[in-house]
Amino acid sequence: MKYSAIQNYINGQFVPASTTRTIDVISPVDGTKLSTVPMSSSKDLDQAVKAAKAAFPAWSKTPIKERVQVFFKYKYLIEKHLKELSELCTEENGKTYNESVAEIEKCVELAEFATSLPQLITGEVLEVSKGVECRTEHAPLGVIASIVPFNFPSMVPNWTIPNAIALGNCMIIKPSEKVPLSCGRLAELLKEAGLPDGVFNVVHGDVEIVEAICDHPDIEAVSFVGSTKVAKIVYQRATHNYKRCLALGGAKNHLMVLPDAIPAMTAQNVAASMSGCAGQRCMAASAMVAVGSVEHIIEKICEEARKIIPGQNLGAVINKASQERIESYITEAEKNGAKILVDGRRTKVDGKENGTYVGPTVIDYVTPDMSVAKEEIFGPVISIMRTNTVDEALAIENANPYGNAASVFTQNGGMARYIIDRASAGMIGVNVGVPVPREPFSFGGWNESKFGVGDITGKSSIEFWTKLKKSTTKWNPEAGINWMS
């Protein structure tokens, strides 16, 4: 085992969990056993909540301009340790080193945004009647929790850590049991950056801890990022217990390719979007709707896909179960009459025979009723459907239950606007394969890709992580009394 057994991080210390149940952490790159992760119990969560609750009065009373000093240092520390964090990310998640570097650079941007929060959360003040002033302030919520998925071991935790903490909350994070190492390292960097003990805590585990978070009376708000199936469970359970909840779910992102699209650029974007991070991005292109005569672009997409080499510029998928699930989708589509133009099944990487790889896969002549057209595959696979008109393409996009992202490839601005207005997704791209809104814009989908109000990052996250205090004051007796004062 490459690393020592993983422990929880509570009140500024690594501590063993109260249970003996653990699961192995296996690198998808080559099957190496990296560590073991404890499946903590609700007793461990209680300890973390106790520490966070004890830290809250002092942390929430620290002025925000002081609180964000931690994130200036944290940003610097992430930059300083970029190589080490990227290597760890690749080891536990399986994405390529370059993709991990991009992920860690995104963490830098997320920390940077948090340092701008003092500029963004100034309240409002107005004389609302003679001599009477009303003013608003953003108050932190208290102890909050963040539950995260496997596909971005550092970035998704950093969607919530800097903003929630800079806004004065104390946090418990529950990493994915598949990639539990990065969060421990982030805890160390936060401590080195000067974050007081108890403000940030890590509790490892699976369903039991997630349920305990949703039920805990001292946790005020829960953010969740993961599959739609679990997002629904978490949203229902947390809100049933009167907590604030924002739960981001899965996706099935459609790219609409029009005949006037620039062929080379479109092909490069489509291939990169479907294969980046081995297709394990909630913003990955998973379905493409070819409108009219775009044969020449499909050919180029296949050319681009063939340049993507597993183990070189394509990472591994998270585990064997995922590899088998993705391959079975491809096989089922083939049986149902779709044509496999580029086939990534049965991929082996020399010297990494125990790694879990799926090569880039392009499936053509998919019909909207097939599973590959409807379901999230979460692998480097694109399913191409063909239509004659933009309205038919939009009908397919609108019919899918998710709504994270959609993109159009065209040179016609009017047509792009027509599609922006009608696509049913929270994040839309024009000639962009992965339309992630960078800071200060916020990240969040629609429909079954998100449950709850607001977005998880950027300015929109301020409303989620704070509550508004409104004070009405009068200091001048001459102002008199009327029904409004």
| Cβ-based nearer residue to ligand NAD, 230 or 316 | 230
The residues facing 288 across adjacent strands are 255, 384
CB of 373 to ligand NAD, least distance (A): 17
Catalytic residue among 107, 183, 282, 302: 282
| Cα(168)–Cα(306) distance, integer angstroms | 49
CB of 32 to ligand NAD, least distance (A): 20
Residues 139-158 that bind ligand NAD (CB under 6 A): 147-151, 156
Burial 315-326 (b: 16+ CB within 10 A, else e): bbbbbeebbeeb
Which residue from 114, 210, 289, 427 is in contact with ligand NAD, where contact means CB under 6 A? Answer: 210
| Cβ-based nearer residue to ligand NAD, 90 or 449 | 449
Distant-in-sequence, close-in-space partners of 207: CB < 8 Å, separation ≥ 6: none
Which residue from 29, 161, 166, 230 is in contact with ligand NAD, where contact means CB under 6 A? Answer: 230
Please report whether residue 251 would count as binding ligand NAD according to CB under 6 A.
Answer: yes
Interface mask toward ligand NAD for 298-327; x: CB under 6 A: ------------------------------
Q: Which of 339, 361, 384 is nearest to 278 (CA)?
A: 361
Residue 191: phi and psi, rounded to 5, are: -65, -45
CB-side neighbour CA atoms (13 Å) of 302: 15
Task: Provide the phi-psi class of 373: left if phi over 0, else alpha when psi is between -120 and 50, else beta.
Answer: alpha
Please report whether residue 176 would count as binding ligand NAD according to CB under 6 A.
Answer: yes
Clarify whether 107 is annotated catalytic: no
Please report whether residue 207 would count as binding ligand NAD according to CB under 6 A.
Answer: yes
Q: Which stretch binds ligand NAD (CB under 6 A): 3-11, 130-138, 174-182, 269-277?
A: 174-182
| Cα(71)–Cα(190) distance, integer angstroms | 8
| Cβ-based nearer residue to ligand NAD, 249 or 380 | 249
| Cα(246)–Cα(448) distance, integer angstroms | 12
| Cβ-based nearer residue to ligand NAD, 141 or 247 | 247
Residue count, binding to ligand NAD (CB under 6 A) = 27
CA dihedral 410, 411, 413, 418 (to 10 degrees): -20
Please report whether residue 206 would count as binding ligand NAD according to CB under 6 A.
Answer: yes
Residues 343-402 that bind ligand NAD (CB under 6 A): 376, 378
Which residue from 266, 404, 442, 447 is in contact with ligand NAD, where contact means CB under 6 A? Answer: 404
| Cα(163)–Cα(483) distance, integer angstroms | 40
What DSSP character marks residue 5?
A: P
CB of 271 to ligand NAD, least distance (A): 20
- Give 354: exposed, middle or buried? Use CB within 10 Å, 0-12, 13-18, 19+: middle
Q: Which of 186, 276, 239, 169 is nearest to 451 (CA)?
A: 239
Q: Which stretch binds ligand NAD (CB under 6 A): 7-15, 225-233, 324-332, 346-354?
A: 225-233
Please report whether residue 174 would count as binding ligand NAD according to CB under 6 A.
Answer: yes
Please report whether residue 17 would count as binding ligand NAD according to CB under 6 A.
Answer: no
Tokens, residue 455: 């977005």
Which residue from 103, 177, 448, 455 is in contact with ligand NAD, where contact means CB under 6 A? Answer: 177
Residues of the shown chain interacting with ligand NAD in the complex, contacts defined by CB under 6 A: 147-151, 156, 174, 176-177, 206-207, 210, 225-227, 230, 233, 248-251, 282, 376, 378, 404, 445, 449
Q: Could you list the active site residues?
A: 282
